[in-house]
Structure formats: C-alpha cells, structure tokens
Amino acid sequence: MKLLGIAIATILIPIGAAILAYQVAYPSVTLRYRLTLEVEVDGQPKFGSGVIEVTYSKQPQIAAQHELAIGCRGEAVVLDLGSRGTLFALLREDTDSRSGPEWIVLRAFNFPGGSLPSPVEEGIKQVQHVSGKRELPLDSLPMLVRFRDINDPKTVERVHPQNLVERFGPGARLVRATLEIVPPSDPLTTGIEKRLGWLPQYNDRMLDGRSIETISSELRFANSLSTRAFKRRS
C-alpha cells in the first residue's frame, strides 16, 4: 500500500504542478454583476434586473488567436411594462461598441476606453479588485428591444433609450440603469423561455427565420439578431 501511495503521489504531484504553472502563466478572473433598469410609466416605477457573468482569461497565442479570451453567461434583462409590453436589454452592444455584456462592466468602472488594460495579466489583476455599484449613462446601454407581438420574433423592434414613448406610448421613460458587482454565489438569471416560448426553436437561425444574416432580408433588424442576444451559456 505504501508503494502504491508513493506511485500515486509521483503521478499527481507533477500534474498538480503543471496545472498551477498553467494558472500562473494564463490567469483568469470571473465577475458576476446585476444590471438593473428603472422605467417610469405614467408616473409609476417599473424595475427589471438580471445577473450576468463575464470571464476574462489569458490564453496561449496560436497563429492569429487573440491573447485575451472572454466568456459570457446569462440572459437578457426583462422589464415587464404591463399593458404597454415588455422591454428587453440584450446581451449585445448598441451604438456604443463597449456597451455589450463583456465590456459594460469595464466601462462602468472607468477602465480606459472600456477595455481590459495591457498586458492582459495586469488587466486581470485590476478587474479582481472591482466592487460596488455604478450608475450607467443611458446612451451607453446594451441594445434595447421590444416585440410588437411577443409570440412572433419577426416583430422585434429596437428601442431608443431616450425615447421609450416611440415604442411604449406617452408617459413611458427610462429613468436610470445601474450595474452592481454581486457575489459569485448569486445565481445567474434564468427563465427567459417563459417569456419567449419560441426561443428554443431559433437556436440555428436569425429572428427573421433565415439561417444566416444577410442584407437581402426584408426584415433587416430581425435578421441581425439571434438567440445569443437573449441567452448565453458560454
């Protein structure tokens, strides 16, 4: 038994050392944050929030592969406005290229240019110290959308954050948006399929039903969106 233990240790110790060496050479950091939107409808406040996870990792550079790898998990934030409809804050950027879920946390905490500082190892160290809650500029939010018919993905429409009246009628306005770092034990938001029952049937297509994005689509905006804008698991 003693010899067996020595043999096992002889195998496991080098493996453990190799894993540790890899983690030192290629560090990563994972954050979870809660994105909250507040909308006022006829003077009444409405809230919607969701917990999203983002991971920044250094990876080996192979050929043209980038040194920084970014992963994101979560769902679009859903805000129920009652008879006015439902507002969604997507997992993708709008006109501000740094308003997507991977970058918005860096923008919120004043990282220069909303980017991870270089070198990657130093940027990861800085992200490890991020904490607290920040208010977001309304013109730098993820893309906002609604559906004229929530059961028909082809009816998706972009919502301008400064002009909710256009899509939701008089008396509707976006008041504020906040981003707060939460503990890793806080669960990711789930259940968007309960709102969008068609979502599982569109995993291999755009919202206009086509298999690829193309400028020839008659429903150009719907054709620009896929289910990854609403739900990501990696």
Listed in order, strand segments (DSSP E) in 160-214 are 172-182
pLDDT of the residue at 4: 56
- As for how many domains the chain has, the answer is 1
Q: Is 226 within a domain? A: no
Q: Is 169 within a domain? A: yes
Q: Is 138 within a domain? A: yes
Tally the C-alpha atoms within 13 A of residue 21's C-alpha that lie toward its C-beta.
Answer: 6
Domain range for 132 is 28-189
Digit-by-digit pLDDT tens for the chain (234 residues) are 565 555 554 554 454 333 434 345 568 999 999 999 999 999 999 999 999 999 999 977 665 467 899 999 999 999 999 999 999 999 999 999 999 999 999 999 999 999 999 999 999 999 999 999 999 999 999 999 999 999 999 999 999 999 999 999 999 999 999 999 999 999 999 999 999 999 999 999 999 999 999 999 999 999 999 999 999 997
Q: Is 48 within a domain? A: yes
Helix ranges restricted to H, the chain: 2-25, 104-108, 120-127, 165-168, 220-223
pLDDT of the residue at 172: 98
Torsions phi, psi for 74 (to 5 deg): 150, -165
The answer to whether the peptide bond before residue 119 is cis (omega within 30 degrees of 0) is yes
Q: Is 185 within a domain? A: yes
pLDDT of the residue at 60: 72
Q: Are 195 and 144 in contact (CB under 8 A)?
A: no
C-alpha torsion sign, points 93, 158, 227, 212: negative
Q: Is 205 within a domain? A: no
pLDDT of the residue at 207: 98
Q: Is 3 within a domain? A: no
pLDDT of the residue at 121: 94
Q: What is the CB neighbour count within 10 angstroms for residue 17?
A: 10
Q: Is 9 within a domain? A: no
The Cα 73–Cα 219 span in angstroms is: 28
The DSSP code for 116 is P
